[in-house]
């Protein structure tokens, strides 16, 4: 009851759309009557309200997957949520410093915890990821030349852009932090002829990447290691990390970049690709529970 009352209070502030909530034969409406976006949410299990209060957007997604609620227009619902981020952040902002202080004490990115987080996400099964990734199994943003560009071509364009920005040559030895399923390592070694050492903590990813290297006959140029990036040794002329830093945690950025500096030759090149967020929301989101591991 308390969770429902709290969410209803927040929904009463809606300005970017109108949401009708149907629960137990009762219909409640929130937002302007003349709104363009008007999704209808049907609550099937009252546990939905607790999940939303306790886990935010993650609870919203998990409760949907469990069948606790449904919606006649999910796209419209997400669009409303995106438009309401700014006013919601104003409500969360006063508590952000306290949550950040607590987070700094409780989210130690130990090696054991990093392995557990990676296993919880990436070791769910390669078949699962193959359902929505392209044939290269690249799990990061792509570069689309046109709206009609197929996903595989867009991912290959991104991989090639990375290699060109790193100015890869056959004499280079590239170290990659965060192998994924080996797409960058295969592209760099196959198309640019360099040596590659790539690391992951996911046993599933390691197995697939190793197999793909073997099938591409690149064993002499690509080494796939199952190791924490903090334990890497040696010096490399080039370094790449593609959308892995999100799993490091902002509390440990210093450690990450110190490792990168230690691994790079004095005149080496590094390319970092990261998911970013507006500065306005950064302090608030730093205190949100981590939902993904990279």
Residue 54's pLDDT is: 81
Q: How far apart are CA 155 and CA 143, in angstroms?
A: 6
Q: How far is CA 194 from CA 160, 181, 217, 244, 253, in A?
A: 13, 18, 14, 22, 28
pTM above 0.85, yes or no: no
Question: What's the pLDDT score for residue 293?
Answer: 36
- Through-space distance between the first and last CA atoms of the chain, rounded to whole angstroms: 37
Which residues fall within 8 angstroms of residue 278, CB to CB, at 6 or more apart? none
Interior/surface letters 19-57, b for 16+ CB within 10 angstroms, e for the rest: bebbbeeeeeebbeeebebbbbbebeeeebbbbbeebee
Q: pLDDT value at position 61?
A: 92
Judge contact between 274 and 99, C-beta under 8 A: no
Strand extents, DSSP E, 19-157: 19-23, 26-30, 40-43, 69-71
Q: What is the pLDDT of residue 110?
A: 75
Low-confidence residues of the chain: pLDDT under 50: 289-294
CA 286 to chain centre: 14
Task: State the virtual CA torsion across 50, 54, 55, 59 in degrees, nearest 10.
Answer: 0
Going along the chain from its start, the domains and CATH numbers come out as 2-83 (no CATH), 115-285 (3.40.50.150)
Coil, strand or helix at 151: helix
Q: Which long-range contacts (CB under 8 A, 24 or more apart) does 44-51 make?
A: 44/68, 44/69, 44/70, 45/69, 46/4, 49/3, 49/4, 49/7, 50/3
Provide the pLDDT for residue 234.
96
């Amino acid at each position: 009851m308390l969770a429902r009352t709290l969410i209803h209070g927040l929904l009463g502030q809606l300005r970017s759309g109108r949401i009708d909530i149907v629960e137990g034969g009762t219909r409640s409406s929130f937002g302007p009557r003349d709104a363009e976006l008007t999704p209808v949410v049907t609550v099937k299990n009252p546990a939905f309200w607790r999940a939303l209060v306790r886990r935010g957007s993650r609870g919203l997604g998990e409760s949907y997957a469990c069948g606790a609620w449904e919606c006649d227009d999910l796209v419209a619902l997400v669009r409303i949520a995106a438009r309401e981020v700014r006013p919601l952040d104003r409500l969360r902002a006063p508590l952000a410093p306290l949550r950040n202080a607590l987070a700094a004490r409780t989210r130690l990115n130990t090696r054991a915890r990093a392995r557990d987080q990676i296993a919880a996400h990436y070791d769910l099964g390669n078949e699962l990821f193959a359902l929505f990734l392209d044939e290269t199994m690249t799990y990061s943003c792509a570069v689309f030349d046109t709206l009609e560009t197929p996903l595989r071509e867009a991912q290959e364009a991104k991989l090639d852009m990375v290699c060109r920005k790193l100015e890869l040559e056959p004499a280079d030895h590239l170290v990659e932090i965060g192998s994924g399923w080996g797409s960058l390592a295969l592209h760099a070694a196959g198309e640019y002829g360099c040596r590659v050492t790539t690391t992951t903590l996911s046993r599933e990813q390691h197995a697939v990447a190793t197999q793909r290297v073997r099938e591409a006959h690149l064993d002499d140029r690509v080494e796939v290691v199952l190791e924490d990036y903090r334990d890497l040794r040696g010096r490399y002329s080039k370094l790449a990390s593609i959308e892995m830093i999100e799993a490091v945690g902002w509390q440990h950025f210093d450690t990450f970049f110190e490792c990168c500096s230690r691994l790079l030759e004095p005149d080496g090149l590094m390319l970092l690709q990261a998911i970013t967020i507006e500065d306005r929301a950064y302090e608030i989101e730093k205190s949100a529970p981590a939902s993904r591991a990279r």
